[in-house]
Amino acid sequence: MSGDAFAALNLDSEFLEPATLEERERLEWQTMLASVLAGDILKSEKTRIAVALQSSAEHQNLLHANIWLGIRAKLHGRTEDDERKRLEERRLRTVDAVISEIMTFRAGDVREGSGLCQHTVALKNVNDVLHRWDIALSLYPNLKTLYLDKPSTGEGSFQARCDTLNTWASVLTSVRTQTDLLRKWTGSQTLDVTQPMPSPRLSNNGRPLHDSRDGSPVADRTSFVERVLKEDSIQRTFEKALLTTVHSLIGTARDAQVNLAPIFREMNLPTFEIELVPLISFPTKLVQASLRLRLEYVQKLKDPEVLIIDQMIDDLKVSIGLACTLKRQYEAFLAPDPGGNWNLPPCISEDYDHTVLEALNFFFKLIHWKLKGSPKGIYFKETDVLEAQWATFNDVSLSTAGGASLVAEQLCALTNKLMVRVTNYFETQLRKMNDEQLVNWYSKILDSVRLRSRKLQRFARVLTQRFSNSAEYTLENVPLDHFIAALVETDHFLVYTQSFEEEGTYIVAPHSLRDRPDAIRRLLLEAFHVQELSADDGSRMADDNEPDVDDYDDIGYLLVLSPRSRFLWNGLVLMLEMPKLDLDLKDNRVRLIADGAQQRLVLAKDQFAEIFLAVDEDGELVEAACGPLTCIAEQQAHLPAVNRELRKIVRATNRLAESFVDSVHHVRNALRGVKGCQELLENWYLFASEYGQHAQRHMDRSNLMKFNRLLIKLAISWVSFICDDCDPNDRKTFRWAVNALEFALHRTRRNNILQLPSDQFELLRQKVASCMTLLISHFDILGARSSLAQQEKEKQEEVLRQQALNGRLIDDEAFSRSCSPGTDNDDTIVIVASRAYRDPSVRIFWEKTTRALRDLEGRRANLGSEHRMVGRVLDAEKPENRSLVFLASSSSNIGIRWQQGRFIGAGAFGSVYLGVNLDSGSLMAVKEIKFQDLSGMPNLYSQIKDELHVMEMLHHPNVVEYYGIEVHRDKVYIFEEYCQGGSLAALLEHGRIEDEGIIQVYTMQMLEGLAYLHSQGIVHRDIKPDNILLDHLGVIKFVDFGAAKIFAKNQRSIQLSRRAAPEPPQLGVPKDDSLTGTPMYMSPEMIKNDKRGRHGAMDIWSMGCVVLECSTGKKPWSNLDNEWAIMFQIGVATQHPPLPEPGQLSDLGINFIKQCLTIDPVRRPTAAELTDHPWMLEFREALRSYEEAEMANNPPNEMPPQEEYESATVARQAAINQEKEIEAITSQSPVISPIATPESESASGTPSPPLPGSF
| DSSP secondary structure string for all residues of 390-459 | HHHHHHHHHHSTTHHHHHHHHHHHHHHHHHHHHHHHHHHHHTSS-GGGHHHHHHHHHHHHHHHHHHHHHH
Same domain, 904 and 825: no
CATH number, domain of 945, equals: 3.30.200.20
What is d(CA 944, CA 929) in angstroms, rounded to the nearest whole number?
10
Same domain, 670 and 618: no
> What is the structure's pLDDT at 204?
39
| DSSP secondary structure string for all residues of 877-894 | TSHHHHHHHHHHTSTTB-
Q: Can you state the angle between helices 306-334 and 273-299, rounded to 10 degrees?
A: 160
Across the range 342-360, mean pLDDT stands at 89
Residues 6+ apart with CB under 8 A from 196: 219, 220, 221, 222, 223
Same domain, 659 and 768: yes
CA 346 to chain centre: 36
Q: Is residue 496 situated within a structural domain?
A: yes
CA 352 to chain centre: 29
> What is the structure's pLDDT at 591?
94
1022, 1031, 1040, 1099: the active-site residue: 1022
Same domain, 676 and 745: yes
Range of the domain at 604: 469-636
What is d(CA 644, CA 1234) in angstroms, rounded to the nearest whole number?
97
**What ranges in 436-576 are assigned the alpha helix state H?**
438-467, 480-489, 517-525
**More confident of the two residues 632 and 1236:** 632
Helix (H) or strand (E) holding 557: strand 557-561
Q: What residue type is 523 in one-letter code?
A: L
Same domain, 853 and 894: no
Same domain, 493 and 595: yes
> What is the structure's pLDDT at 1045?
62
CA distances from 559 to 585, 674, 1056 (A): 12, 62, 84
> In b/e form, how buried is each residue of 695-727, taking b as 16+ CB within 10 angstroms?
bbeebeeebeeebbbbbbbbbbbbbbbbbebbe
Per-residue pLDDT of 543-559, as tens digits, reads 444 444 445 556 789 99
**More confident of the two residues 987 and 816:** 987
CA distances from 399 to 325, 404, 513 (A): 8, 9, 21
Residues 6+ apart with CB under 8 A from 12: none
> What is the structure's pLDDT at 688?
87
- CB burial class (10 A; 0-12, 13-18, 19+) of residue 1238? middle
Phi-psi sector, 1113: left (phi>0), alpha (psi -120 to 50), beta:
left
**How do strand 557-561 and strand 589-594 relate by DSSP bridges?**
antiparallel
Percentage of the chain lying above the pLDDT 90 cut = 14
Per-residue pLDDT of 406-450, as tens digits, reads 999 999 998 888 888 888 878 877 766 555 567 777 787 777 787
Spatial CA neighbour of 681 closest among 726, 628, 620, 616:
726
Q: How many domains does the chain have?
A: 6
Spatial CA neighbour of 1226 closest among 1238, 1243, 1211, 1241:
1238
What is d(CA 488, CA 626) in angstroms, rounded to the nearest whole number?
13
Task: Give me the phi and psi of 971, to 5 degrees please.
Answer: -165, 170
**More confident of the two residues 240 and 449:** 449
Of the residues 820, 842, 867, which one is the last residue of a structural domain?
867
**More confident of the two residues 721 and 843:** 721
Same domain, 711 and 667: yes
**How do strand 971-977 and strand 1018-1019 relate by DSSP bridges?**
unpaired
Q: Is residue 1217 situated within a structural domain?
A: no
| DSSP secondary structure string for all residues of 775-838 | HHHTS-GGGHHHHHHHHHHHHHHHHHHHHHHHHHHHHHHHHHHHHSTTS-HHHHHHHHHHHT-S
With vertex at residue 172, the alpha carbon angle to CA 138 and CA 115, rounded to the nearest 5 degrees, is 105
Percentage of the chain lying above the pLDDT 70 cut = 73
Q: Is residue 1200 situated within a structural domain?
A: no
Confidence of residue 954 (pLDDT cuts 50, 70, 90): confident
What is d(CA 388, CA 395) in angstroms, rounded to the nearest whole number?
13
Of the residues 847, 867, 887, which one is the last residue of a structural domain?
867
Of the residues 867, 901, 926, which one is the last residue of a structural domain?
867
Q: Is residue 294 situated within a structural domain?
A: yes
> In b/e form, how buried is each residue of 256-277, taking b as 16+ CB within 10 angstroms?
bbeebbebbeebebbbbbebbe
> What is the structure's pLDDT at 679?
83
Give the global pTM: 0.56
> What is the structure's pLDDT at 712?
86
Q: Is residue 725 situated within a structural domain?
A: yes
| DSSP secondary structure string for all residues of 41-55 | HHHHHHHHHHHHHHH
Q: Is residue 691 situated within a structural domain?
A: yes
Rg from Cα positions in the chain: 47
584 in active site? no
Same domain, 418 and 287: yes
Same domain, 758 and 799: no
- In DSSP terms, 764 is beta-bridged to none
Of 493-507, 675-689, 1007-1021, 1051-1065, which gets the smallest average pLDDT? 1051-1065
Confidence of residue 621 (pLDDT cuts 50, 70, 90): low
Q: Is residue 1035 situated within a structural domain?
A: no
With vertex at residue 428, the alpha carbon angle to CA 422 and CA 433, rounded to the nearest 5 degrees, is 130
Confidence of residue 360 (pLDDT cuts 50, 70, 90): very high
Q: Is residue 105 situated within a structural domain?
A: no
| DSSP secondary structure string for all residues of 639-650 | SHHHHHHHHHHH
Spatial CA neighbour of 1087 closest among 1187, 689, 1079:
1079
Phi-psi sector, 1068: left (phi>0), alpha (psi -120 to 50), beta:
left
CA distances from 541 to 81, 286, 332, 367, 545 (A): 66, 21, 11, 24, 12
DSSP structural state of residue 388: T
**More confident of the two residues 306 and 223:** 223
Phi-psi sector, 1017: left (phi>0), alpha (psi -120 to 50), beta:
left
What is d(CA 162, CA 720) in angstroms, rounded to the nearest whole number?
97
> What is the structure's pLDDT at 122?
92
Residues 6+ apart with CB under 8 A from 1175: 1000, 1146, 1148, 1149, 1151, 1152
Per the prediction, the chain carries an average pLDDT of 76
Same domain, 476 and 576: yes
Q: Is 927 annotated as a binding residue?
A: yes
Same domain, 769 and 789: no
Residues 6+ apart with CB under 8 A from 626: 478, 479, 482, 483, 485, 486, 612
Instruction: Tell whether the torsion through CA atoms of 161, 166, 172 and 175 is positive or negative.
Output: negative
Same domain, 570 and 500: yes
